[in-house]
Amino acid sequence: MSVAPVARERRHTLGFLGYARSFAPVFLDTEVDMTAVRDHRDRRGGDTRYSWTTYLLHAAARVLAEHPEANSAIRGGIRPKVARYDAVHVKLALDKRLAGHRVVLSAVLPDVHTAGLDEIQRSLAHYRDGDPETMPEFARTRALHRLPRPLGALAFKAVSRSLRARGRTMGTLAVSSLGHAAVDGFHSVGGTTITLGVGRVVERPVVRDGRVGVAPVLRLNLAFDHRVIDGAEAADVLTAIRDRLERFTAADGEPEVTG
């Protein structure tokens, strides 16, 4: 047995978990038939193959833009306040290594509600392939790790308290995917009013017109902060995301490339 201090590289995670304790999460889930998305992926030409996550971000950000009550944040206390944001900034959880430690880092993709599939895919590739030791997007996180623990905690609290800055710094929609592993679904609280937990896409039996077939199915999980919205609104958001994915056509994304 060995005992050691918590690695500096995990301080931001501990700070976030302390902040997330104030949330009142409720969890919903559904299954999404990804046949239309798969067909769009297969029909595309070109060198870039869109990930399942790219399609999800494309759909979810547009749905959240249509539901401003859910695209919001709350500040508690004696006089709680709610801010509703005009844009959808997606906070994406990333599996990275810092100083040899495997950690979760968060990237915020701005204005995803107006971004096309190409732009979303480029952003995902940038963060997937980039080195967090040198990327300027993680400079604040690295600086937080260098601060003494009490100062780091105060700095995190200051950032999370500002409703005006929170959308850009912490996102208005959180998405976490474990679809690369044998995970069908999971729930998490990502620090925003709506958090999506994404598992793998797996061929499963489905019933269409009374007949059993096989389709690629995604288990999509949603956590919402009950302090901000109620279950009916969250259910509408989850249903709308599912519907957008199941009815996805070429017109929803960029023009198709052939050849």
Q: Which fold has domain 25-132+163-252?
A: Chloramphenicol Acetyltransferase (3.30.559)
Residue 259 has pLDDT above 60, yes or no: no
- What is the model's pLDDT at position 142? 87
Does the pLDDT of residue 219 top 70, yes or no? yes
Q: What is the pLDDT of residues 97-138, one digit of tens each?
A: 988 889 999 999 999 999 999 999 999 999 999 999 999 999
Residue 11 neighbours by CB under 8 Å, 6+ apart = 144, 145, 149, 152
Residue 4 pLDDT = 76
Task: Judge contact between 98 and 228, C-beta under 8 A.
Answer: no
pLDDT at 20: 81
Domain regions of the chain by residue span: 25-132+163-252
Which DSSP category does 201 fall into? E
- Residue 83 has which token pair? 């801010």
Q: Which residues of 140-168 are buried (b: 16+ CB within 10 A; e: fewer)?
A: ebbebbeeeeeebbeebeebbeebeebbe
**Is 242 a residue whose pLDDT tops 50?**
yes
E-strand stretches of the chain: 25-33, 72-75, 81-84, 90-98, 101-109, 173-177, 194-208, 211-225
* Least confident window among 76-85, 227-236, 239-248: 76-85
Mean of per-residue pLDDT scores for the chain: 88
Over residues 36-58, mean pLDDT = 89
Q: Which has more confidence, 14 or 53?
A: 53
pLDDT tops 50 at residue 35: yes
Q: Look up the pTM and report it.
A: 0.89
What is the per-residue pLDDT across 130-162, written as a single tens digit (0 to 9) for each? Answer: 999 999 999 888 888 888 877 767 776 766 677
Work out the percent of the chain whose per-residue pLDDT is above 70: 92
